[in-house]
Every structure is written in C-alpha cells, then in structure tokens.
Amino acid sequence: MKATWKKRLSVLLGAALLISGLAACGSTGGGAPAGSSAPSGGDGDKVYKIAALIPGSINDGAWGTMGYNAAKAAAETCGAEFSYVETNSPADVLEAVEDYSARGYDLIFAHSNDYQDACERVAGQYPDTHYLVTSGRINTENITAMSNRAYEGAYLAGVIAAKTTTTGKVAYMGPQELPNIKESMIGFQQGAQDTDPSVEVVLTFVGSGTDVSKAKESTLALINNGVDIILVNANKAGEGCYAAGMENLGKVMMISANSSRFDDFPELMVAAQPNDYSPGVTAVLKDVMNGTFESGSYSMGVADGAIACVLSPYMEFSDDVTQAYEAAKQGITDGSIVVCRTEEELAAR
C-alpha cells in the first residue's frame, strides 16, 4: 500500500471552559449539567435544559458517543442543564420524549432520524419545547431536522481509499439501510470513482448496529473477496469489523466513521472520518435561548468544521495521496466539488 507504518506517540488534550462558553452564548440564561448546581443566567431565574436521546450506548465509540458528546458540549458551552437517556426501542424513545417534554426541557436532541415520529406525536402538546432530530425530514414550528453533511466526509474517505488500495477493491460497511447512511455511501462511491474510475466499490450493510459477530463475519467475507480498504460506519457492530481487520493486518486497512480510532488500532486505520455534531447542537441551543430558533435551518459540513476525514498520524503517505486529499477537501469547501446524495444524482453526472 502507499501508506506505511511508523511509531508515534500522541497525546489528546481537551478542556471545556464553562466561563468562555457562557460568554459565547450570550446572557440569555444558564444552568449546569445534571447532578450539579445550576449557575444563574443573564435573565436571572431561567435555567435552560437540554436532553439527549441516544440510540444504544454512549460508550459505543461511534454514533452514540458522538451524540452524547455533542449534547454535553452544547450544554457546557451555553451553561445549560444536561440530561440524557440511552434508548433501545421505539417505546423507550416515546417514553423519553414524553417525559422530558412534561418536565419542561427546552431542547430535546433526538439523535436518530427514526426518532422523528415520536417527536412529532408529542411536540404539538408542548409548544415551548423544541425538538432537534438528527438527519430528520420533519420541520415544524418547534421541530427541526439537523443534518451534518457526512456524505462530504465520506467523499474524502473515498478519495483516500482509492489512493491507498492495492487490490482495486474498497468497501463501505453500514449498519442498517438508513437515509443518512445511504447518502454517505453514495459520497464514498463518488469520491473513489472520481479519483480512480477503475476502483470497484462495494456498499454493504451489517443489518444491525449492535451485532458484532455478524459484522465480523461480513468483514471477513469482504477481505476474502479481495477488499483491502473498508470504511466502517456500523456503530457498536463496528467492533466486529475492527476485530476482523486486526486478524488480517497486512491484507486490509480501515477508515473509522464518526470518531477517530487511530490510538486504538494504529496499524489498521489509514484514516478517520470524524463527525462532530457539537457545532450544530450548540447553534440550535443558542437560538432556543435567544428566541431565534428557526426550523429547518441547521446543516453543517466540511466548510463548517463539523465534518472531516483525516489521514492517520501513525502512517506516512506519498505526495500523490496527500495532494489528492487536499485538492478534494478544498474543492468541497469552495463548492467546485458537489457531492451527490442519491444514486440518481450520481448516475446523472
């Protein structure tokens, strides 16, 4: 492959500065994360509250972790009270939406597009509560869809995959057939084919976001079929993909979606496609606090810093790889590259 292993130590430092965050959100109000005392806001008595509904686990290292971190960061930035619940069934979702609405939460962040029906059933009864649905399709007076343009990051991943494959076969492994996943698959396919039309792109689903064994089995099948670069976007099930990859070091490399897994698998990961919902959730919470909430107006991508795809810091890349990557990134940022979202758009180019 055109990427080679080298040893490197990395230290990740992070800090949440609540005082700076309060200034950034203005003086409309404030609170503190659940379990601690709430600071007084600029309006005196008003304590704003945000709740997050997370599918599966906040510790899955992927979609759930990303959503939890985004909501928590928004709460800390704006000095709001924060709560969350892990949901595993439609009944869990509806119960949580009803509960948080009845308790007067100002913003409910439903981190899955299939949670929008529960929000729509409840929202009319609670006009003072605002509902934010990840990758949703419903926009009403107090419900808004928010979409990070993950397909832009997937395009960059496709460029990297096409430039680093030695077999000419690359793949995207998704959880279930969800609209946002299919959009990202199209972006990945476009990025790879724009870079090298001869590359074969395999798009496949585990069928579950939690079935680790099935994900491993599916990944092994891809590897045995000659696929040597796989973008893994399968939530908790993705651990099965990584396990299969570690058993086949030298035959396959992977790109992690939604978060970086470089430190976990430094010899396996060629790139990562971090997906940061913090800017979007924070923007919505600010607008709720300021009275400027506008349904349907929240979409962020590469140019906003919400979406990226980054090369591994543990590997060395040829100039050919880095130049193609940088050119694609610049093209998406300046609009000269338009990333497709559907098979029809891709076929019509």
Tokens of 104: 């007067």
Paired strand residues for 200 = 169
- The CA-atom distances, in angstroms, between 30 and each of 82, 247, 268 are 11, 49, 43
Q: Is the pLDDT of residue 160 over 90?
A: yes
Per-residue pLDDT band for 167 (boundaries 50, 70, 90) equals: very high
Give burial (CB, 10 Å; 0-12/13-18/19+) of 103: exposed
H or E stretch at 83: strand 81-87
Distances (CA, A) of 284 to 36, 137, 263, 299: 23, 16, 32, 11
Domains of the chain as residue ranges with CATH = 18-148+277-304 (3.40.50.2300), 150-275+316-348 (3.40.50.2300)
Phi then psi for residue 266, to 5 deg, are -65, -30
In degrees, rounded to 5, the angle at the alpha carbon of residue 259 between the alpha carbons of residues 19 and 117 is 85
Comparing 30-44, 62-76, 113-127, 194-208, the range with the smallest average pLDDT is 30-44
Is pLDDT of 70 > 70? Answer: yes
Model confidence at 29, pLDDT cuts 50, 70, 90, reads very low
| 43 pLDDT tier (thresholds 50, 70, 90) | low
- pLDDT digit string, tens, across residues 74-114: 999 999 999 999 998 999 999 999 999 999 999 999 999 88
pLDDT of 14 above 50: no
Q: What is the mean pLDDT of the chain?
A: 87
Rounded CA-CA distance 210/242 in Å is: 14
Q: Which residues contact 222 (CB under 8 A, 6 or more apart)?
A: 171, 173, 202, 204, 230
Span 204-213, mean pLDDT? Answer: 94
- At residue 274, the pLDDT reads 86
Q: What does the pLDDT look like over 132-147, one tens digit per residue? A: 999 888 999 999 998 8
SS3 315: strand
- The stretch 142-159 carries a mean pLDDT of 94
Pick the more confident residue, 178 or 76.
Answer: 76
Neighbour tally for 39: CB within 10 Å = 14
Which amino acid belongs to residue 339? V
**Mean of the pLDDT values across residues 115-144?**
95
Count of H helices and E strands in the chain? 11, 14
> Measured between alpha carbons, how far is residue 138 from residues 43, 91, 178, 276 in Å?
31, 20, 15, 22
- For the segment 32-40, the average pLDDT, to the nearest whole number, is 34
pLDDT above 90 (res 2): no
Residues 6 or more apart in contact with residue 109 via CB below 8 angstroms: 50, 51, 52, 53, 67, 70, 71, 74, 132, 134, 281, 284
Buried b (16+ CB within 10 A) or exposed e, 219-256: bbebbeeebbbbbbbbbbbbbbbbbbbeebeeebbbbb
pLDDT recorded at residue 27? 31
> Among 22-31, 107-116, 219-228, 252-261, which is the least confidently predicted range?
22-31
Half-sphere exposure of 62 (CA within 13 A, CB side): 21
Quick check: helix, strand or coil at residue 252?
Answer: strand
pLDDT of residue 235: 87
Identify which has the larger pLDDT, 260 or 4.
Answer: 260
pLDDT at 25: 57
Which pLDDT does position 71 carry in this prediction?
A: 97
Q: Is the dihedral of CA 170, 201, 204, 113 positive or negative?
A: positive
Question: Taking the mean position of all CA atoms in its chain, how far away is CA 192?
Answer: 20
Residue 180 banded pLDDT, cuts 50, 70, 90: confident
Task: Look at 107 and 235; give whichever has higher pLDDT.
Answer: 107
